[in-house]
Amino acid sequence: MPTSPLRLGIAGLGTVGAGVVDIVQRQGDLIAARAGRPVTISAVSARDRTRNRPVDVSSYAWEDDPAALAARDDVDVLVEVMGGSDGPAMAATEAAIAAGKDIVTANKALLALHGQRLALAAEAAGRTIRFEAAVAGGIPVIKALSEGLAGNAITRVMGVMNGTCNYILTRMENAGLPYDTVFEEARSLGYLEADPTLDVGGIDAGHKLALLAAVAFGARVDFAGVAIEGIERITIEDIRHAADMGFRVKLLGVAQMTGRGLECRMSPCLVPADSPLGQLQGGTNMVVLEGDAVGQIVLRGAGAGAGPTASAVMADVIDLARGIRVPTFGQPAATLAAPRAAASAAPAPHYLRMALVDKPGALAKIAAVLGDAGVSIDRMRQYAHQGSAAPVLIVTHRTTRAALDEAIAAMPGTGVLAEPPVALRIETV
């Protein structure tokens, strides 16, 4: 193994990039001892050279163009922490591959949309793309799947992978506040992306799930195959009613291989309140991994922020300094299976919330519609009237979403609905 320094070029000096610089500067001796060689920074690149930053980068060479940074002779590894699914991030990544450099990235969108092509190109050049920081912040879930659990057939991956959504949902419950109020609070605190739909619409977490599924199940990254639903329709009533029935609402990602294909979904689900996922509070992330030999493993930690995400970047950097080069998605990209998305989700119990008008036989009509679609009722609860309508909660036995949607489509014809129903899957954890 070489003892010469591993030289980094850092593209992006925002929160994460500055965090990486900070760790290299503060922990140089520790990193060298653990990696067996020093890790240094040769050059950096960012949009604004004059911006005030929490770290001193004046001793490093500056490149306005991140692609030029990636091609420098004194850069061994490109650390890409700019973000974005194309543009400068794509140009720098492709330039690094062309120049024979390894890449460490925190860019989930880039890999979720272009990961297979980039992994093939990197591996053809004898290089690798490492992306621990792209999924679940400081939680070492990629390393757990690709190395620690490499001897397991993974049966299911699930988790809370967007801290902003978990903050909103737990804040709604703990403070008794409606969604719109907490959304604006999260915006004022700087928790939301510039495009909030990336967070609350489930897209950010969907990118992460697509990457996890590729590593877990040896399949090509298929973001288009992830069924995504955000938390925008979750109300404080859903939060309260779920709690009454022993559940909590989470934006939950689930990936599992079934006889119908690879099932990947990112959607609001109910989970048992006393489960590890149910007890997860605030902006924390949690990923649950299940393997045939190991059983269930729960990983919990900070899902974002300068320190946690830079920690994950440095874990990949130190592996490269040690000479450890794992294929991008845990096995050679050329051997990854073609994506075959499951046409439907596995059966599960579901929660239904609706408001019924005050008419004789209203509940019986709803029960009949459910029965006609083959959906049986496990539990039902009715609350005090609110005006002329009565809130009603139903928990079904295991059913397919197709059967439930058939029943929901027929409900307006009963003449007893005061507002459209809300349906949420109940996930076994």
Rounded to whole angstroms, how far apart are CA atoms 16 and 20?
A: 6
Nearest Cα to Cα of residue 99 among 131, 70, 74: 70
Beta sheet of 61-62, edge-to-edge order: 61-62, 39-45, 6-11, 77-80, 102-105, 129-130
The count of C-alpha atoms lying within 13 angstroms of the C-alpha of 28, restricted to the half-sphere facing its C-beta, is 10
Which amino acid is located at 65 in the chain?
D
Rounded to whole angstroms, how far apart are CA atoms 44 and 70?
A: 10
Dihedral angle at the C-alpha atoms of 93, 98, 100, 102, nearest 10 degrees?
10
Give the residue numbers annotated as catalytic, written as ranges: 208
Nearest Cα to Cα of residue 159 among 232, 217, 231, 208: 208
Rounded to whole angstroms, how far apart are CA atoms 242 and 349?
A: 13
